[in-house]
Amino acid sequence: MLTLRSMPEGDTIFLAAAALRRALVGEVVSAFRSTFPLLTRIDAEQRVAGRTVEAVDARGKHLLIAFSGDLTLRTHMRMHGSWQLYPAGARWRRPGRDMRIVIETARATAVGFNVPEAEFLTAKQLARHERLQSLGPDLLAEQFDPIEARRRMRACGDAPIANVLLSQRVVAGIGNVFKSELLFLARIYPFTPASALSDAQLDGIVADARRLLALSVRLGRRTTRSSLNPAERLWVYGRGGKACRRCGSVIQAAKTGEDARLTCWCGRCQPNMR
């Protein structure tokens, strides 16, 4: 059984894709349901039931489920969506009212809860999909181009590094948690303009991001510290007002931007140099 309790970032989507792939690929869909009118309309015309699941892939924070006959379901979890996997017929651990998408096979049921964004795409639409095509290098992909990642960071000019790291057009896979943790590890004040950072600093953040996302995938839980205590897995994220684990100063927290993204940092470990 799979649950994604933490806020979806590259690691959770990667793990969800791996679990859904194991359970669904090669299986015939026996039932499909959704509360998205757009999905049910396409399902009514093109019937998802009866198709075989051909592939499940994570691309940054997008999850793609490909069915036979040129139909791919793209979902994006944003802040609160999750996919859960159940043996066929098992009771869900979330209320039915949170259900947005159900994919059933003879053996398993995959349920998308509170998925905020979903659409069906053909291969042609997928290839032209603006948000998928504009994704930066995927931090969890085996092939990763660090020079391209740095070029995209530099293209952000004076934007605060915290925003640059969140932009999926720069590198794909970092969310709020990793953003705050990575900047703590690099000892960089989150609102420093990207242009004020050296190549070595930018490359270091990206290398840490690759290492820590891969570690979280391997462990099946998110961590940026070596602590085995589940309550101590993060340095600063979600710890506003508490003592810094490194220096004891009070951790700062601020919500910025249109969607009030939370940023946490230590004022002493990550001083504003400007």
Contact present, 178 and 9 (Cβ < 8 Å): yes
181 labelled catalytic = no
Q: Which of 71, 101, 161, 244 binds Zn ion (CB under 5 A)?
A: 244
Contact call for residue 247 and Zn ion (CB under 5 A):
yes
Angle CA 28–10–22, to nearest 5: 25
Angle CA 153–158–160, to nearest 5: 75
The two tokens of residue 9 are 């970032």
Q: Least distance to Zn ion from the beta carbon of 273, Å?
A: 15
CA gap 266, 35 in Å, rounded: 43
* Dihedral, 121, 125, 126, 131 alpha carbons, nearest 10: -100
Contact call for residue 266 and Zn ion (CB under 5 A):
yes
Q: Least distance to Zn ion from the beta carbon of 204, Å?
A: 18
Q: Which of 23, 244 has the CB closer to Zn ion?
A: 244
Q: Least distance to Zn ion from the beta carbon of 147, Å?
A: 32
8 labelled catalytic = yes
Q: Which of 58, 170, 264, 269 binds Zn ion (CB under 5 A)?
A: 269
CA gap 101, 226 in Å, rounded: 37
> Whose CB is nearest to Zn ion?
244
Q: Which of 246, 257, 271, 272 binds Zn ion (CB under 5 A)?
A: 246
The two tokens of residue 169 are 């057009």
Contact call for residue 242 and Zn ion (CB under 5 A):
no
Cite the DSSP H helix spans in the chain.
Answer: 10-24, 37-46, 123-128, 130-133, 146-154, 161-166, 176-185, 199-219
Q: Pick the catalytic residue: 37, 45, 61, 179?
A: 61
Q: 120 - beta bridge partners?
A: 73
Q: Least distance to Zn ion from the beta carbon of 184, Å?
A: 8
Q: Which of 65, 251 has the CB closer to Zn ion?
A: 251
193 labelled catalytic = no
* Residues of this chain that bind Zn ion (CB under 5 A): 244, 246-247, 249, 266, 268-269
Q: Which residues does the annotation mark as catalytic? A: 8-9, 61
